[in-house]
Structures are given as structure tokens and as C-alpha cells.
Amino acid sequence: MPARPAQVSAPPPRFPRDAWALAALEREGLLPAYAAERLRAEAPEWVAAAVVDQGLAPADQVAVILASAARVPVANLDRVEPAAVQFLTETVARQHAALPLSATNKAIRIATANPLDYDAERALGFVAGRQVEFQYALPGPLARRLDEVYRPERSIERLVSGLGAQATIETVVEERDAGETASASVEAPAARLVDATIADAVRERASDIHFEPGESGLVIRYRVDGVMREVMRVPRSAAGAVTRRLKITAKLDISDPLHPQDGRTAARVDGKAWDLRVSSIPISRYGEKIVVRLLDPASATLKLDAIGLWPDEMAAVEGLLGNRDGIVLVTGPTGSGKTSTLYAALDRVRTTGINVVTVEDPVEYHLPGVNQIQVSEKSGLTFAAALRSVLRQDPDVVLLGEIRDLETAQTAWQAALSGHFVLSTLHTNDAAASIARLRDIGVEAFKLASALRGVLAQRLLRRLCPRCSEPVSAESLPRAARPPQGFERPVTVKAAEGCSHCGFTGYRGRFAIEEILTVDGTIAELIARGSLGDQIVESARRYGMRTLWEAGIRRVWTGETAYDEVVRVVGEPPVKAAVTAMPAAAPATEPTVPLVLVADDDPAMRTLEGAILQAEGFAVVAAEDGVAALEQAQRLQPAILLLDMDMPRLDGFGVLEALRRRLTGRSVPVIVVTAHDDPVTETRCIELGAEDYITKPIQPARLVARIRAVLRRTGVIQ
């Protein structure tokens, strides 16, 4: 039999094909008499379609009434077994407005808009060679589903045209494999859909696109301003073609759907270049989930003042970045903008003549003039190993992608304690948690206190849409949202309804808020003594630190964001905890444990002296050379400095001279601990202001006795 072209509507019928539906809807009181009269005169092809299209009754109600009138169930069109489809050709299916849903050896279940058509039932039963069980479906959805099942390219074209403006995208695509089995009719539309989706996502300011397969097809979602939004569903029959196209675009292996894969490609949208990171993850029996990350290469040149900080936050950040050695950490959960801030910070400290090296996994953005090293755990180039090799080139500034383990932490600390400035990230919620986390993975308290210059805990809050946000009464805010202390600006609390400018979310764009812990004298002492969490936060707040919650609430009172957004991102308001059981360490205001700074370039000596002093109840920090010793002494104001004479960068004499010159206020008592057992050196040290002079090898009891004597003289202990 020669194939005929598919016909959806042949010559206009004299009667509606579902004429019985008119009486059924009238009987149930769903159709007023005048409307029924008009439909009789119009004689549409399908009564049910006309009723729904003209808005005379809701679709689901019409379906339920007509199914019950025909004594069949309502069909679920999402459940179409591909195996059942093959029993009916497209022509037969369209002719009878029938879609196979499932089949057994004896029966075939078919969705139809006309279950009372017994001729159709006989004909379909004959063609399929099975007993027919009808279910009811409205003509409109049924026709769309027929398209999806038999003509997937049509439904893709409909999605593409729904995306509006044509994409001007240039993706690099390799030739298809010779063994490619997919029908060419779907490939071209699938390619257009992928391109149009990427262009659309860019215009919607999405950071990534998720293609997630499920029972009803491929769900496409965008993440915009950190929040996922569903944008369309691709019918299951076309899902494979779209997934395949995405994988080909990123040069992933389309013959392997069972293993996660990563790839990349580039695209140009509206004249601007984008990097696309494509990853495939096998997630279910429906296939692979594909995630496309959209990276704007311009983000690499992101400036610190573009992340939306308040002036005081900016000043504190700049203060931390003014360090020339030590470590500054940026912390926060995934999606808190850590990496962007890190790059912006790097941009700030980068000046000509400074040697900057990065160690990353992966290298996200390429920075001109910067030596960037890609970590590769597979081939043994771990963060720690890469960092060690980098340090041999003696860079001034190191950007270390992330500190995940003790080995990396130890290498980072070693770099920071020997005159390098290290910027890195940590996956913790806030500044205090970072201290706890570093202690957890094994960084000793005295090393933490010695090298850590500060922690930036960061979150991104969505900015209320400028077009549709309106001032609202501050009365609408819960009590937890009291204006922050010292808040002097005029109050402008706002809320947004949503409009086309913001994708009807009420928000457009994001800005960063920071909790900035600056590790200076008091905080360093607390850390050196092993204090954690609450105690550090308490003390830092006394010195003006703002918690993330406070930083967020402040932006509510300026009308930049909404209270709900702060709760969504930062979490529920903090409960004012009653005084919890105090740990053994003393509170910040009355330090009773003397802090001792050990300056020695020999790690064995630092460890030995540290162990002796800690056993005697002292808090210990360390410095690896003279410059670090001087810097630590000024910053931490220790109760005593144990000073080695032979150190790189600046020897003991240099430290003593500089201390005498620079410190006008409280002076730091110095005990020289040296291998030089000669009266000339000793005399000179005492002349330069040293309190005492001990020669190596040291004897623990003697060392402690001398320290106590000095501390008694300076009034630190009784």
C-alpha cells in the first residue's frame, strides 16, 4: 500500500467526530444551553477541543466527564511505551486520532479522542493484531503527543520557535561517527534546539543549564542568580537526539553513556565569547543528565569593587590583601562566589614585578601573565605536590584553589610562614567554622595563629529587581530582622512582585556580603590557645566584626534585598544562645596564658621549644625567619620572643635593632636562644635590648626558668 501523506484534517466533516460529547457535557451541566446551541451550528471537527479552546469549561473537567460518559479511564499521555507505538503506523494513528500507550501479547491500550467509534476500534484491533482497550484523551493534547511520538522534529521546532530570537552561536562540532544510528530528521532540529537554548540561557543570565532525563522526557532548567528555574520539556522521543548533540558538541564519547564525562567547547552569543563546560552524568534508566556551565571569560578580569561590597567591607578586605605574607582564606558553600572573589583579590594584589602563581583544579579562567598550574589527582599532581613545585620558583603570591587535606594545608602554611602571600578557599560556612575545620584536618593552633591573616566568609544575595520593587512598611519584618547596630541610614525596606525584567522572580543580579575575621593580636592569641568557634566570634564582634546574618540584614534595611532572601541564603536567624559552658581556655578579655613567639629557621627547634612551652601552659606561635618574627612580634605583641640569631632574610641582630627602633609602645621582651657561645655576641645582644641570652643545646628546665624570670620582671606573672 503506497504511503499517503499524513492528514490531520481532511474535508470538513458535516458532523463533529465526537458529536456524542455535546450531549454528555450538556447533561452534566458543564455547558450552558446557548453554548451548546452555537456549537451545534458551528459543527467543529471536535466538540471537546472547541469547548476547551473557547474557554467554556476547564480541560481536565471536560476530559473526566467525557471519559466517564464513554465508560473508559482518562489516559495518561506521559506514559507511552515505545514498544507499543510500533503496532500502529503514523497514518493509521492519525486517521483514528489514536495513540498506543502499552501492549501485551493479547491486548493494546490506546488513547483516543473518540472511544465510542466502534469502526475505529475494529480497524485498530485488526492492524495491531490485538484486543483494543481505549482510554480517553482530549483531541488537542493527543495531537501534540502524536507529533512528539511520530514526528519528534516537529515538537523540537516548536520549542525552538518558542525561544524567540535566533541564536548566533558558533559551536565547534566534529563530524558525526559513521556508525551513528539516529535518524537525520531529528538531528538537525536537535542541533538548533541546543544552540537556541544556549543563546537563550545566556540572555536570561543563567550560570548553568541542566538537561535532566525523566519519564516524560528531557527537563531543561536554568540556574539564574543561584536559583533553578524550569524552562521547557523536550519530549522523550527527541531527548536522545538532544543529549547526543550536547555530547558531540563537547567532544564527549557518545558510545559511552555509563561513565561520567567532562568536556568543553566555546560559543559566541550576540558577539560575545563564552566558555562552555559540559559534563555528563549517568543518573537513571532514562539516560544521562547533562550540565552545561556557562563561563564568561570576562569574569577573569573581575574587579573587587564589582562584587557589591559595602565601603566598610571593602576596607576590611583591602586591609587583609595588604599583607605581604601569611594566608587569607575565602570561605563559603558551593555557589557562594568564592572563586570570583579569589580572582578579584588576586587582581588587586597583582602589580608589576610581583611573581604570581596559581594552583587550581580546574583552571577556570586564564590570566595573562600568570603561571597557572592545573592539578591532576589522577597523575599524582595533587594540590600539595603542585604547590611544593611552585614554591621552588619562589613566587610572591600563590593562589591555591582549595585546601582540602592536611598535606595541602601543611604545604600552604609552610609557604605562608616563609614569606609568601597565599590566597585560598575553604569549604566551610563561616569564619569561625574555618578555624575549627583547619584544626580538624590537623593544622596546629600555633601555626594557625602565626600565619592566618584573615578569613572572608562570603554569600551571594539576590538583588531586588529595580523595575518592580516597591517600598513596604518595615512592620512587615519579623523581630529577628531588627536593624543592625549603628545603622544610621534612612530605612527603605522593599519587596518585589516580579515583572518581565526579572523573569517574574522579583530579583535581578546578585551582590556579595562578607563576614570578615581579621586575625590580629587578640584573635591570634585566642587561636594560639586553641579556642574555637563561639569564643572567637564573640571576641571578633567586640572588635567590630559583622556576622553574615548581620551583613545580610543590613541589606534588607537598605532595600537591596528581601528578608526571605537572607533566610534562604544565610539560614534561619541566629538564636541568642545563653552562655554555653565555657571551655577551659580563658575568655578574651583577661588573657592569663602568656603568648610566646618562637623565632627559629630550624623546624626541629621550633617543635622542641613549642613542645616544652606548651607543656608548661604557655601559648606558642612561631616564625620561620627574622622578617616573619618582626612582623609577628608587632602584630601579636607576645609576652616574650625567643629569638634565634642565624636566620634567613633578617638575622637576630636585625630583629633586635628593628624592635628597638620601631616599637614605641609596649616593648616585646626578647630572650636570645643561639648556638653562638661567645661573649662578644652575648654582649652585643644585651646592648641591643635582649633580656637574656641562652645557648643551645637548650635544657628544658633552664629555658622555662629563664622565661618565667623575664615574665616576672615584666609583670606578666607573679
Residues in contact with Zn ion by the rule CB under 5 A:
465, 467-468, 499, 501-502
In 581-652, the DSSP E strands lie at 595-599, 619-623, 640-643
Q: Please, which residue, 375 or 465, has the CB nearer to Zn ion?
A: 465
Name which of 704, 699, 643, 649 is nearest 670 in CA terms: 643
Q: Which is nearer to Zn ion, 467 or 712 (CB)?
A: 467
Minimum distance from residue 552 beta carbon to Zn ion (Å): 21
DSSP string, 315-341: HHHHHHHT-SSEEEEEE-STTS-HHHH
What 8-state DSSP symbol labels residue 280? E
Alpha-carbon span 638 to 599, nearest angstrom? 12
CB of 499 to Zn ion, least distance (A): 4
Residue whose CB is less far from Zn ion, 299 or 505 = 505
Nearest to 89 by CA among 153, 172, 151, 15: 151
> Which residue carries 592545573 as its cell?
374
Give CA–CA dist 40/118, Å, rounded. 23
Task: Say how far apart CA 600 and CA 419 lie, in whole Å.
Answer: 14
What are the CA-CA distances from residue 518 to residues 327, 362, 476 (Å)? 11, 29, 35
Cβ closest to Zn ion, residue 229 vs residue 324: 229
Residue nearest to Zn ion (CB): 465
CB-nearer residue toward Zn ion: 116 or 465: 465
Contact 89, 1 (CB under 8 A): no
The C-alpha cell 537526539 sits at 241
**Shortest spacing between CB 491 and Zn ion, in angstroms:** 22
Q: Is the Cβ of residue 9 or residue 500 nearer to Zn ion in the bound state?
A: 500
CB nearer Zn ion, residue 272 or residue 501: 501
Secondary structure of 666-698 in the HEC alphabet? Answer: CCCCEEEEECCCCHHHHHHHHHCCCCEEEECCC
Q: Output the nine-digit C-alpha cell for 577.
A: 544562645
Q: How many helices (H) and strands (E) does the chain have?
A: 26, 23
Least distance from Zn ion to the Cβ atom of residue 310, Å: 24
Q: Looking at beta carbons only, is 216 or 492 nearer to Zn ion?
A: 492
Distance CA 286, CA 212 (A): 9
- Choice between 37 and 497, CB closer to Zn ion: 497
Half-sphere exposure of 321 (CA within 13 A, CB side): 21
**Closest approach of Zn ion to the CB of residue 225, in Å:** 12
Query: How big is the CA angle at 319 (ends 550 and 300), to the nearest 5 degrees?
Result: 85
CB of 489 to Zn ion, least distance (A): 23
Cβ-based nearer residue to Zn ion, 507 or 549: 507
Edge-to-edge order in the sheet of strand 692-695: 619-623, 595-599, 640-643, 670-674, 692-695
* Cα R_g (the chain), whole angstroms: 36
State in angstroms the smallest separation of the CB of 562 from Zn ion: 12
Q: Smaller CB distance to Zn ion: residue 46 or 507?
A: 507
Q: Which residues pair with 692 in a beta bridge?
A: 671
Cβ closest to Zn ion, residue 288 vs residue 565? 565
Q: How many CB atoms lie within 10 A of CB 389?
A: 12
Residue with grid cell 539560614, as numbered in its chain: 571
Shorter beta-carbon distance to Zn ion: residue 149 or 468: 468
Angstrom distance (rounded) from CA 385 to CA 408: 8
Give the 3-state secondary structure of residue 393: coil
Minimal distance, residue 265 CB to Zn ion, in Å: 33
Distance separating alpha carbons of residues 477 and 495, to the nearest angstrom: 11
| Cell (9 digits) for 36 | 451548546
Shortest CB 466 distance to Zn ion, Å: 8
Nearer to Zn ion, 329 or 461 (CB): 461
Cα torsion 256, 258, 262, 267 to 10°: value is 60
Q: In whole angstroms, how close is the CB of 568 to Zn ion at the nearest point?
A: 18
Burial of 286 (0-12, 13-18, 19+ CB in 10 A): middle
Closest to Zn ion by CB, 295 vs 495, is 495
Strands 272-284 and 261-269 come out as: antiparallel
* Region of 591 on the Ramachandran plot (φ > 0 left; ψ -120 to 50 alpha; else beta): beta
Q: How far is the CB of 463 from Zn ion (least distance, A)?
A: 11
Shortest Å distance, C-beta 220 to Zn ion: 23
Nearest distance, CB of residue 502 and Zn ion, angstroms: 3
Joined together, the cell numbers standing for residue 14 give 458535516
- CB 656, CB 688: distance < 8 Å: yes
CB of residue 561 vs Zn ion: minimum separation in angstroms? 13
Cell 535532566 sits on residue: 212
- What minimum distance in Å lies between the beta carbon of 501 and Zn ion? 5
